[in-house]
Amino acid sequence: MKIALIAHDEKKNEMVNFTIAYEHFFQKQELYSTGTTGKRIMAETNLNIERLMSGPLGGDQQIGAMIATDDIDLIIFFRDPLTAQPHEPDVSALLRLCDVYRIPLATNSATAELLLKSIESGDFDWRKHMKK
């Protein structure tokens, strides 16, 4: 599965801890991230991630483009709802594209955990069938 991992600054520690906790799962996936999120995760796990630009410099838009070309299956995006982001339009555009293309999106660790457990039990195979 092609999975994008993104976290705003205040949520980066939580993302790192989440990827450590589920490293066994993420090792089996094809991972993408925005620049700084990926750098942090790779520094603290053994995961291999293809890093795009940093979010405020176009990384969110790059991941949005991957959604449009059917190159992302799932997004885990730990958003910070308490801090204004200079690139809020990019964030909104990314979330919008998830709905346009019906891409599963977790914006917090509780939802992300449920999605991962669901994938592990085979509930997400419908995406593979849709692509056939």
Ligand X SMILES: O=C(CO)COP(=O)(O)O
Single out the residue of 20, 25, 56, 127 in contact with ligand X (rule: CB under 6 A): 56
Q: In degrees, to the nearest 5, what angle opens at C-alpha 38 toward C-alphas 41 and 97?
A: 125
Exposed, middle or buried by CB within 10 Å (0-12, 13-18, 19+), for 87? middle
* Residue 76 lies near ligand X (rule: CB under 6 A): no
Asked whether the CA dihedral 56, 102, 106, 63 is positive or negative, the reply is: negative
DSSP type of residue 126: H
Q: How far is the CB of 36 from ligand X (least distance, A)?
A: 3
**What is the size of the binding site for ligand X (CB under 6 A)?**
12
Q: How far is 1 from 40, CA to CA, in rounded Å?
A: 21
Instruction: Using the rule CB under 6 A, give the single segment among 24-32, 34-42, 66-74, 123-131 that binds ligand X.
Output: 34-42
Tell me the residue type at 124.
F
Q: How far is the CB of 132 from ligand X (least distance, A)?
A: 32
Q: Please identify, using beta-carbon distances, which residue of 35 and 104 lies nearer to ligand X.
A: 35
Q: How far is the CB of 79 from ligand X (least distance, A)?
A: 8
Single out the residue of 3, 22, 35, 104 in contact with ligand X (rule: CB under 6 A): 35
Q: How far is 6 from 9, CA to CA, in rounded Å?
A: 10
List residues near ligand X by CB under 6 A.
6, 8, 34-37, 54-56, 59-60, 91
